[in-house]
Structure 1
Amino acid sequence: MLRGDDNSSQPGNSTVFKDERKQAYLNPEGADRPLISPIPAVTLDTARKYRLGRLRAKMKDWDCSALLLYDPVNIRYALDSSNMSIWTMHNPSRYALILADGPAIMFEFEGAEHANTGLPGIDEVRTARSFLFFTAGNLAEHRMRDWADELASIIQSHGGNAKVAVDRLEPAPAAELRKRGFALLDGQALAERARSIKSPEEIELMRWTIRVCEAGMARMYEASEPGRTEREIWAELHFENSRSGGEWLETKLLTAGPRTNPWYQECSDYVIKRGEMIAFDTDMIGPFGYCADLSRSWTCGHVAMNDKQKELYSAARSQIEHNLSIIQPGLSFVEFNEKSWQIPEKYIPYRYSLAVHGTGMADEWPGILLHPDFDDGFSGVIEENMVLNVESLIAEDGSESIKLETQVLVTANGAERLDTFPWEEP
């Protein structure tokens, strides 16, 4: 790999200022070994039962007889069924049907039915009927009719009304269900409302995903030496997540130096120089399908920050700490916005869009926009047992960006941080 001539040492030869606080997040049995989950089976089974119960309770609230799920994240939440999640995000070929007063049926694509063996929430496994153009071609319309007939037969055989909540469905198959007399409701809204309140077992599972993420962040910290590329450092998080039972990273948000501003550039082969700021956002879907969405920023080579970096970092910390301090159950989104940290004018053009967002098996509702963008019509209330992420992105014209983010559980007493990976000391 070609390296830039930046008068810095090559990896393995540079002087790294170690931080024992961060090294402690590596596997204590040795950084060359994956983390092994200590979560007992009963915790996972209890979480599974709770999640399916949350969905059925929302179905009752919405007065719908069936819930049809295509989103792999919703299927994982409902039934803990996971099979080729990334592929099925853009090839909707497996789906779940949950009856309010009947079974939960997993429709798996042909040949993979066995992937659902042993999952307690699934009452029946059937072979999915796929009408993807990829495999159906000119037969798509015919296969779609068969698909709709099968679903209609199941739903009608269990009584109830004709209201069906659907999370993701293209116009043609939606029309086929309507032809059979069904009224379609917004299943994504139903699912996200259900997902927003976590059980103690879900929090235990999420804590483990965060533990794995922080081990990956420790590897990233150790790799943050002059001469490394952004991609090389980002790969350390992939490595730890994959070998410790995790799933995928939703983004590629790690940049350094001048590439941190503007934000939302994906990691590249940019060779990082000593003293440049490295900023990232993990967006990690880890073990058990839960999300660890953490952001940190530090200098390459772990050298002291310059004056501008210190200024920006201090502002980012102020935003995080202030917004953490006001989170309370019962606080409306409008009230949160009114009390939230007011970003100084010079940083506004480079702001992050969100102040706070929900997190579960991915980023989820509610997404509360930063105050310059907040709409007073956005209704809702922060509730106990929500998990929220508190965000900050601070930059100004010509500067680097500082990206910070922490993940918290809303308790009766306010926000309890779930991540503990240390901030920098500018």
Structure 2
Amino acid sequence: MNPFSVSSSNRKIDPSRRRGGQFKADGSVNDNDRVEIGPTELAFQEWEELGLTPPNLARMREYRLQRIVKELQKRDLAGVLLFDPLNIRYATDSTNMQVWVTHNHARACFVSASGHIILWDFHNCDHLSAHLPLVKEVRGGASFFYFETGNRTDEHAARFASEIKSILHEHAGENKRLAIDKIEIAGFSKLTQLGIEIFDGQEVMELARAVKNEDEINAMRCSIASTEIAMKAMQEATVPGVTENDIWSVLHAENIRRGGEWIECRILSSGPRTNPWFQECGPRVVQEGELLAFDTDLIGPYGICADLSRTWMIGDREPTAEQKHLYRVAYDHIQHNMNILKPGMTFREVTEAGLLLPEEYRPQRYGVMMHGVGLCDEYPSIRYPEDLECHGYDGVLEPGMALCVEAYVGRVGGKDGVKLEDQVIITETGFENLTNYPFEDSLLGD
């Protein structure tokens, strides 16, 4: 079944967690009619064949909550108020119309500095989090955006702000220091009018999410494995005469079949559309001898991002010397940059130790040398030397941080471009590459 080699690291199955019985391998209830979303039986079967251990969901959820609590207590914050659905997912592991809620803030979550969680869900959706014991209260009424509340937006925002003030008094006494990740203007205004001090909740959550425990890493292994199986099906569908959309649709379908959730972008291009980068897939018919390049940007099982990039030849034609050169430059770039990684390095040190792109490829360099990854692209962003002073910031690599190491290589005005990206985890002594999908021998050859 396995179409490519798999690292043997941390690939042991606990017999007590095999399929069947009252619980699934991740500890979720084995109920065909369950409300919670999650991996399909196909995914569990494939993971078992690959020797992968699913996460223990109860333990993972508790770890995440304690990460948030630690960041709140460090800053003497009464709590954090969350509207970003990815942050709500991290705090509660609850999910509800994730993409829709991203641009319609109809859900919210409060986490106190002592770990008390209150979830405001979309109306009549209390049942969606009933399986989550860490969620102590489920309420409604966190919507105060114009589509939902029209010319009564201020009224609804004022009511919600008053509710938050009461919650802060109950759980934090006189401490009115509240972190918020994202909020509608009306809500921000009403909270400040009540004397609540607002702090940066994105900082709290990004730093909490940055370091993964064993269960999150296992969830990431599973998500990546499912994504790579989907990529194999994509590659088999990459033949002359089909459209870019035909190929991309395979990734969507195979992700959903395994309990994956959505794809954040649709960055796939072929032939002359591979240069410049960031062109999204469309109706173009792919041709023999062209390159096809893509970035998965995929939210897979457990809501974990698998952010991988590969570039393939279309058809059986021998690659040109230019195609091989571009591929080799990109390959050497990410191999060098991941091999320098170790805990304790500052982000600046990573930038300075990184391999410089040849000068002709720098104008179209990717936005980052590498970035964090978890539920989506996350902190940190580690910049190229050219961007360090304008956009760089510092921090330190820690064991448990997951990073995507990537490169785009293409000349300004060139015919082709190559995109490659692997996902790694920082360990106690260095790094481990979680990615197993092979590179293309025909493009690496001399």
TM-score for the superposition, normalised by structure 1? 0.90
Note the alpha carbon deviations across 1:152-207, whole angstroms, 9 max, x for none.
Answer: 11111223411000000122211111111111011011100000000001000111
2:389 is paired with a residue whose SS is: coil
Q: Residue in 2 aligned with 1:387?
A: 402
User: Do residues 130 (structure 1) and 143 (structure 2) align?
Assistant: yes
1:262 is paired with a residue whose SS is: coil
Taking the TM superposition and a 5 Å limit, the aligned residue runs for 1:186-201 are 186-201=200-215
The structural deviation recorded for 1:304 is: 3.0
Give the whole-Å Cα distance in 1 for the aligned partners of 2:422 and 2:301: 19
Taking the TM superposition and a 5 Å limit, the aligned residue runs for 1:141-160 are 141-160=154-173
Match for residue 401 of structure 1 among 417, 432, 436: 417
User: Do residues 424 (structure 1) and 434 (structure 2) align?
Assistant: no
Checking the alignment, whether the CA contact within 8 Å between 1:102 and 1:158 is kept in structure 2 is no
The structural deviation recorded for 1:101 is: 2.9
Amino acid aligned to 1:63: D
Give the whole-Å Cα distance in 2 for the aligned partners of 1:370 and 1:303: 35
Q: Residue in 1 aligned with 2:295?
A: 281
Note the alpha carbon deviations across 1:340-395, whole angstroms, 9 max, x for none.
Answer: 00111111122111101000000011011122212286211111110011011111
Match for residue 64 of structure 2 among 42, 46, 51: 51
The structural deviation recorded for 1:302 is: 4.6
Amino acid aligned to 2:431: A
Unaligned 5+ residue runs, structure 2?
7-40
CA gap of 1:149–1:327, structure 2 versus 1, over 3 A, is same
Root-mean-square deviation over aligned CA pairs? 1.8
The structural deviation recorded for 1:131 is: 1.7
Give the whole-Å Cα distance in 2 for the aligned partners of 1:386 and 1:344: 29
CA gap of 1:21–1:113, structure 2 versus 1, over 3 A, is closer
Give the whole-Å Cα distance in 2 for the aligned partners of 1:75 and 1:53: 14
The structural deviation recorded for 1:234 is: 0.5
Checking the alignment, whether the CA contact within 8 Å between 1:95 and 1:128 is kept in structure 2 is no
Checking the alignment, whether the CA contact within 8 Å between 1:249 and 1:283 is kept in structure 2 is yes
Checking the alignment, whether the CA contact within 8 Å between 1:208 and 1:287 is kept in structure 2 is yes
Identity fraction in percent: 41
Amino acid aligned to 2:66: G
Note the alpha carbon deviations across 1:260-286, whole angstroms, 9 max, x for none.
Answer: 001011101000001100000000001
User: Do residues 413 (structure 1) and 413 (structure 2) align?
Assistant: no
Amino acid aligned to 1:297: T
2:188 is paired with a residue whose SS is: helix
Give the whole-Å Cα distance in 1 for the aligned partners of 2:234 and 2:349: 37
Amino acid aligned to 1:378: Y
Q: Residue in 1 aligned with 2:43?
A: 35
TM-score for the superposition, normalised by structure 2? 0.86
Taking the TM superposition and a 5 Å limit, the aligned residue runs for 1:59-208 are 59-101=72-114, 103-160=116-173, 161-208=175-222
2:43 is paired with a residue whose SS is: coil
Amino acid aligned to 1:418: L
Q: Residue in 2 aligned with 1:3?
A: none
CA gap of 1:52–1:302, structure 2 versus 1, over 3 A, is farther
Note the alpha carbon deviations across 1:391-418, whole angstroms, 9 max, x for none.
Answer: 1111113231100000001012212100
Give the whole-Å Cα distance in 2 for the aligned partners of 1:303 and 1:237: 24
Checking the alignment, whether the CA contact within 8 Å between 1:22 and 1:218 is kept in structure 2 is no
Give the whole-Å Cα distance in 1 for the aligned partners of 2:55 and 2:184: 38
Checking the alignment, whether the CA contact within 8 Å between 1:23 and 1:218 is kept in structure 2 is no
User: Do residues 354 (structure 1) and 364 (structure 2) align?
Assistant: no
Give the whole-Å Cα distance in 2 for the aligned partners of 1:310 and 1:40: 37
Amino acid aligned to 1:389: C
Unaligned 5+ residue runs, structure 1?
1-19, 25-32
Amino acid aligned to 2:409: I
Match for residue 239 of structure 2 among 217, 225, 230: 225
Which range moves more in the overlay, 50-59 or 348-357? 348-357
Taking the TM superposition and a 5 Å limit, the aligned residue runs for 1:365-380 are 365-375=379-389, 378-380=393-395
Checking the alignment, whether the CA contact within 8 Å between 1:21 and 1:422 is kept in structure 2 is no
1:97 is paired with a residue whose SS is: strand
The structural deviation recorded for 1:42 is: 7.0
Q: Residue in 2 aligned with 1:306?
A: 320
CA gap of 1:413–1:226, structure 2 versus 1, over 3 A, is same
Q: Residue in 1 aligned with 2:11?
A: none
Give the whole-Å Cα distance in 1 for the aligned partners of 2:129 and 2:158: 26
Amino acid aligned to 2:435: D
2:159 is paired with a residue whose SS is: helix
